[in-house]
Structure formats: C-alpha cells, structure tokens
C-alpha cells in the first residue's frame, strides 16, 4: 500500500468533510494536474472550510513548497463527475464528454486519481521552482502507485476530465511530455550504477556548458511516451535528449539523496 503522506511535503490535513476515506476499492490510474487560480494559502483555506466539498491531494507553490491536504490513499474531490443515463455530468448538471480514454464508465474519477493544484493563474508559466517540485512529486507518486507516466493517460490535465467547466485547467503552458520524460529519466537513473562515460558526447558538453558538474555514469536509454531518449547523470542533474534531436538537450534535477 502507498504511503499516506509524502515525506517532503508540508502535511496540512483538511477537515474530513471535504474528502472521502479510502478509494472504494479502486486503484489509482492517473495523476491530474490543476491550476489553483489563486494562492497556495487561499487554496488551503478553501479546502479546509467545513462542508465545502472541495479538495485536492496537493498544492505546489511558486516557491517550490509542496502542501499535502489529503492522504493519497483517500479520495479528494478535485476531479469529480456524476454518472446518469450512461452519460457524464458536471456538478452543475451540464453533460460532458471527457477526452481521457481511461475514465471508467459509472465510477467517479475522484476514486482513481491523485490531484495536484499549482499556485497561480492558468495563463502563467510555472516558475522553475514549481516545475522542479512538481517533477519531484510526480516521481514519488509514480513509485507509490507503480505508474509509468504517459501524457493523456496516466498524466493528465483536469480539462481532459471536465472540458466544460475546466477547459483552462491547468493551462496552455503545461509541458506534459517533458514531465513524463523527466520522470522517466530520473527513474531509469536511480536503477543504474556508475560506469565510464564519453567526454566527447553532446550530453557531456551540454552539462559542462550549464555547470552541471561531472558525469557519474555512462549514457543510458530512456523511453517516454513511445519516444527514445539518451540520458546521463551528472553531479547536479540528469541530462537527456530525444534520439535524433541532438540540438535540443534538456536536463532535470536529481532526486534528493542521490
């Protein structure tokens, strides 16, 4: 069973009227990203108001701080829909047609999703601190639920569940494919030990140009969202590039303790 509380998040448990105990026998299928349309403090205040019937599992601040409101083994109310006459409806009674193809007919999506709010407005680009914290949390959740993150399947936006009320949630600047690749690189890197490296390679040169330190292992393959990547671990991060796209090298911070 997954840990109830993330060890690197601020535990801020909300009133029990705003979430449900357990998951009704459902297994977590996806992580759903949201935008708070406000501050981290305001998000906690709203979710902690008695009988508000609103909640998410987490909220990430612009400064990279992570709050957790609900155990990941319990059901938050961020992604809910109602089922009637073989159709999905919003809480206000408007019919919706979710694009998420793994939604289970007749079963409220809240039961098999984890929800992450993000401080700010939907038009805004996330801060680097927020993006890094999101990656760290996604990696931890992927380990807890044995999820391979795939955009539009196990890593989705709220708009893919509710395209009517939440068409702009979490917003147009969210890089789902990059996140999935980041987490895949972290996961693959943690399974390897140090090996000789190629100091003439593009990844090594990129790392040196960006002051990421020295390589800690040889290059290794990563697969994310059906695409093949090459990655390499350096002192301060994991550098990776999609095969054939050698001019577009990226990097992600290593998980804490590595």
Do 147 and 217 sit in the same domain of this protein?
no
Residue 105 near residue 87 (C-beta atoms within 8 A) = no
Tell me how many degrees the CA angle 110-111-112 measures, rounded to the nearest 5.
Answer: 95
* Overall average pLDDT of the 26-43 stretch: 97
Show the tokens assigned to 221: 């393959």
Average pLDDT for the chain: 94
Question: Is residue 1 in a domain?
Answer: no
Render pLDDT for 61-119 as a digit per residue (tens, 0 to 9).
Answer: 999 999 999 999 999 999 999 999 999 999 889 999 999 999 999 999 999 999 999 99
* Residue 49 in this model has a pLDDT that exceeds 90: yes
Residue 208 lies in a domain: yes
Question: pLDDT band at 258, cuts 50/70/90?
Answer: low
Domain assignment of residue 128, yes or no:
yes
Look at residues 174, 197, 219 and tell me which one is the last residue of a structural domain. Answer: 174
Q: Are strands 30-33 and 113-118 parallel, antiparallel or unpaired?
A: parallel
Please give the average per-residue pLDDT across 32-55, as a whole number: 97
Q: Are residue 195 and residue 244 in the same domain, yes or no? A: yes
Quote the tokens at residue 202: 């593009």
One domain for residues 141 and 248: no
Q: Give domain status of residue 5, yes or no.
A: no
* Predicted TM-score of the model (pTM): 0.80
- The CATH number linked to 76 is 3.40.80.10
Whether 152 and 39 map to the same domain: the answer is yes
Whether residues 193 and 129 fall in one domain: no
With bands split at pLDDT 50, 70 and 90, how would you rate the model's confidence at 217?
confident
Number of domains in the chain: 2
User: Cis ω on the peptide bond leading into residue 143 (within 30° of 0)?
Assistant: no
Residue 129 shares a structural domain with residue 22: yes
HSE-up (13 A, CA, CB side) for residue 225: 17
Domain boundary among 145, 174, 203: 174
Task: Label residue 120 by pLDDT band (50, 70, 90).
Answer: very high
pLDDT greater at residue 1 or residue 99? 99
Residue 182 has pLDDT above 70, yes or no: yes
Question: Does residue 225 lie in a domain region?
Answer: yes
pLDDT for 256 equals 78
Whether residue 258 lies inside any domain: the answer is: no
> Do both 106 and 211 map to the same domain?
no
φ/ψ of 151, rounded to 5, equals -55, 140
pLDDT per residue over 218-240, tens digit each?
889 999 999 999 999 999 999 99
CA–CA separation, 72 and 151 (whole Å): 21
What gap in Å lies between CA 232 and CA 218, rounded to an integer?
6
Last residue of a domain, one of 174, 200, 217: 174
Structural domain span for residue 64 = 10-174
107 and 160 assigned to the same domain: yes
Is there a single domain that holds both residue 170 and residue 192?
Answer: no
**Overall average pLDDT of the 35-59 stretch:** 97
4 belongs to a structural domain: no
192: pLDDT strictly greater than 80: no
Kindly indicate the confidence band of residue 194, based on its pLDDT and cuts at 50, 70 and 90: low
Let me know if residue 257 belongs to a domain.
no
DSSP, collapsed to helix, strand or coil, labels residue 183 as helix
Q: Where are the beta strands (DSSP E) in 27-126?
A: 30-33, 58-60, 66-68, 82-84, 87-89, 95-96, 113-118
Instruction: Give the span between the Cα atoms of 254 and 64, in whole angstroms.
Output: 15
Q: Is the pLDDT of residue 249 over 90?
A: yes
Same domain, 162 and 192: no
State what percent of residues in the chain have pLDDT above 70: 97
CA–CA dist 223, 254 (Å, integer): 18
25 and 143 both lie in a single domain: yes
Whether 196 shows a pLDDT value over 70: the answer reads: no
110 and 151 both lie in a single domain? yes
Strand ordering across the sheet containing 237-242: 220-224, 227-234, 237-242, 250-252
Only one residue has tokens 């109310």, namely 77
The region, left, alpha or beta by phi > 0 then psi within -120 to 50, assigned to residue 167 is alpha
């Amino acid at each position: 069973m997954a840990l109830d509380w993330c060890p690197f998040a601020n535990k801020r448990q909300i009133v029990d009227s705003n979430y449900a105990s357990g998951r009704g026998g459902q297994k977590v299928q996806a992580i759903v990203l949201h935008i708070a349309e406000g501050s981290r403090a305001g998000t906690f205040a709203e979710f902690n108001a008695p009988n508000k019937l609103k909640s998410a599992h987490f909220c990430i601040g612009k400064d990279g701080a992570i709050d957790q409101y609900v155990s990941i083994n319990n059901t938050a109310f961020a992604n809910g829909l109602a089922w009637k006459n073989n159709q999905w409806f919003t809480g206000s009674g408007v019919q919706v047609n979710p694009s998420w193809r793994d939604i289970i007919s007749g079963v409220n999506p809240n039961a098999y999703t984890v929800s992450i709010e993000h401080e700010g407005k939907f038009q805004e680009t996330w801060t680097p601190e927020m993006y890094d914290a999101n990656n760290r949390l996604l990696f931890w959740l992927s380990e807890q639920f044995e999820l391979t993150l795939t955009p539009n399947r196990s890593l989705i936006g709220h708009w893919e569940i509710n395209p009517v009320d939440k068409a702009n949630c979490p917003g147009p600047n969210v890089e789902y494919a990059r996140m999935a690749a980041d987490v895949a690189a972290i996961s693959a890197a943690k399974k390897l030990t140090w090996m000789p490296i190629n100091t003439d390679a593009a990844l090594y040169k990129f790392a040196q140009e960006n002051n990421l330190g020295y390589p800690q292992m040889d290059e290794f393959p990563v697969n994310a969202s059906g695409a093949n990547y090459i990655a390499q671990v350096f002192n301060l991060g994991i550098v990776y590039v999609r095969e054939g796209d050698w001019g577009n090298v990226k990097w992600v911070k290593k998980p804490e303790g590595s």
